[in-house]
Amino acid sequence: MLQPGQIAPNFSCADADMELIRLADYKGHAHVVLYFYKRDSAPSCTQENIEFSDLAADFAAHETVLLGVSRDDCLSHAAFRDQHGISTRLLADKDAVVCQKYGVLHDRIIDGVSRKSTLRSTFIIDKHGVVRHALYDVASKGHAQQVLALVKQL
């Protein structure tokens, strides 16, 4: 698991518009809130994404970009974004490469079968690429507001 003070693992993956997004592109320019959620359209994930979206201007005022990551594909992200008016960039990590780098996958038993599941987690990465906060197994409701309060302290 990543801890505060560690360098954030670099990655690149496509967003809902199939544009390649690289963490390194933000280094020196903006803080990054990188949040992982289980899947598009799940009720708690929808709530979390809408809450982050509603606060996007507040995050931008603190030179912070929002990147949401799930293992859904680009088409699913685009439909989810458009249906709910989500303004944050949603990144497709279909092969779970980014999830593995950030240590957010865990085994979950569903109907007697062990499956990999994404642990709802958020990382606040400063302009230098350093993880300032690593929040694991967070609740969706009110989480965006809590993250904004932490970003304001950067």
Active site amino acids: 45
Q: How far apart, in whole angstroms, are the C-alpha atoms of residue 60 and residue 152?
A: 11
Residue 4 backbone zone (phi > 0: left; psi -120 to 50: alpha; other: beta): beta
Name the 3-class secondary structure at 131.
strand
Give 49-65 as a DSSP string: HHHHHHTHHHHHHTTEE
Which residues, at least 6 apart from 100, have a Cβ–Cβ distance to it below 8 Å? Answer: none
Q: Where are the alpha helices (DSSP H) in 24-92?
A: 43-54, 56-61, 74-84
